[in-house]
Amino acid sequence: MVAPPLYKTTNGGINWGYQFPDTTLQRYSFSFISFADKLNGWIYPSSITVPSESHTVTGGNDTTYITGINNNITSVPKDYILSQNYPNPFNNSTIINYKLSIKGEIKLIVYNIMGKEVNTLINKKQTAGTYDVSFNAGNLSSGVYFYTLFADGIIIDTKRALLIK
């Protein structure tokens, strides 16, 4: 029986390396994989009948073949979309996602409950696509905040975020 290859990525899934494991080890499933750094790692077998772990000092790349993964990142949204931040409510930091259908001058501004601008997260020209921005509210007090997406000076949408400290 030939063991299936082990797959590994070091760049978020853009490229994947694989190697066929040493079949003399008789380990076809693993309960835990741990790396101390890029090169030194250990795998622990699922079976308690095979109690020892295996160790690599080459990052598992000694017989790696790289294959490219084509991500479809060229798709363009049909409309402008401002998503709800997550997590919400949040403590100090949250992520705001938005999608642009065409290139334009984009602003993403955060306001307090009184309508006063407290932070400009984005103020630049951007191409069509999907974006994430982190909103760090560590210097703000607990409360309700609003964030508004502008495209070429036109309000696209406004959402509410709840900061709880």
Burial 8-46, CB ≥16 within 10 A → b, else e: beeeeeeebbbbebeeeeebeebeeeeeeeeeebebebe
pLDDT per residue over 105-123, tens digit each? 999 999 998 889 999 999 9
Mean pLDDT of the chain: 75
Mean pLDDT, to the nearest integer, of 133-155?
92
| Predicted pLDDT at 61 | 53
Q: What's the N-to-C CA distance of the chain in angstroms? A: 56
pLDDT over threshold 70, residue 100:
yes
CATH entry, 81-163, from 3.40.50.2000, 2.60.40.2550, 3.40.50.300, 2.30.30.760 = 2.60.40.2550
- Return the domain boundaries, the chain: 6-68, 81-163
Residue with tokens 């690599």: 56
| Predicted pLDDT at 16 | 62
| Predicted pLDDT at 29 | 57
Tokens of 142: 């607990």
CB 117 within 8 A of CB 111: yes
